[in-house]
Amino acid sequence: MEGRKCLGNRGITADMNVVTVEGLDRIYGSGRTRVEALMEVSFCLAPGELSVLVGASGSGKTTLLNMIAGFDHPTGGTVRVLDQEIGVMGETALALFRRQHLGFVFQALNLIPTLSATENVELPLTLLGIPRSARRVRVCELLECAGLRDRAAAMPGELSGGEQQRIAALRAVAARPKLLLMDEPTSCLDSSNTADLVGLLLDLNQGEKICMLLTTHDQRVTRAVPRSIRLVDGRIADGQD
């Protein structure tokens, strides 16, 4: 896809995109087991843009997130994040790049069960070598923003599903990434916890200008988010904007 078409009327230039996906294909298997999980997928995400990736189960949403984060490699096409082509980066460079610029929350939240809520949120900052005092200021600010100050010392097993999801989101944004990817963040949440999580994500998007891409089936999420990108059988549906 050409830059102009990709960028629509947002009045931004190509080098400002946080994500640029061009002609992306991901084909699994071959012969009778061949699955075209993604075909000719192209779109861009601007700095601070909040979007949902919607589509039926099996339409390729998780595959696309994995490709943007560099956990899986394209069969064809390219993914650029902050102008770095993800598919050609070595594992070490990619790991550092993710740590500095990307936050992601998978469906399995992967909170570390032996660390408290505070320590889980703090972990990315520890890995980046941020001093303890600065880490604690940042963690307090985030827990406050999520209404979780009183759960700071709780272990993941003592948190409700909604609290765990919010702690996972806070951990993903602790290091102020440019991009947050979340896979089906509300799939296990009731209405009240969904509203809390969506409120938190909107606050973080506005306050910290983090570009976010969330996969969802959930109309309570899509209604709250300005842009929907729709996948149908691995292809971008027309009229996505």
Report the interface residues with Mg ion, using CB under 5 A. Answer: 61-62
Query: What is the Cα gyration radius of the chain?
Result: 18
Count of residues near ligand ADP by CB under 6 A: 12
> Does residue 61 belong to the site contacting ligand ADP (CB under 6 A)?
yes
Q: CB under 5 to 8 A by kind: which of Mg ion, ligand ADP, none does 28 bind?
A: ligand ADP
- Alpha-carbon distance of 122 to 192, in angstroms, equals 26
Give yes or no for a contact between 199 and 193, defined as CB atoms under 8 angstroms apart.
no
Closest to 138 measured CA to CA, from 109, 146, 94, 98: 146
Q: Shortest Cβ distance from residue 14 to ligand ADP (Å)?
A: 27
- Alpha-carbon distance of 32 to 222, in angstroms, equals 36
146/181 with CB nearer Mg ion: 181
Q: CB under 5 to 8 A by kind: which of ligand ADP, Mg ion, none does 58 bind?
A: ligand ADP
> Does residue 37 belong to the site contacting ligand ADP (CB under 6 A)?
yes
- Alpha-carbon distance of 55 to 191, in angstroms, equals 21
> Does residue 62 belong to the site contacting ligand ADP (CB under 6 A)?
yes
> Does residue 63 belong to the site contacting ligand ADP (CB under 6 A)?
yes
- Alpha-carbon distance of 64 to 37, in angstroms, equals 9
Q: Residue of minimal CB distance from Mg ion? A: 62
Beta strands in 46-197 (DSSP E): 50-54, 76-81, 84-85, 102-105, 179-183
> Does residue 60 belong to the site contacting ligand ADP (CB under 6 A)?
yes
In the complex, the residues that contact ligand ADP under the rule CB under 6 A are 28-29, 35, 37, 55, 57-63
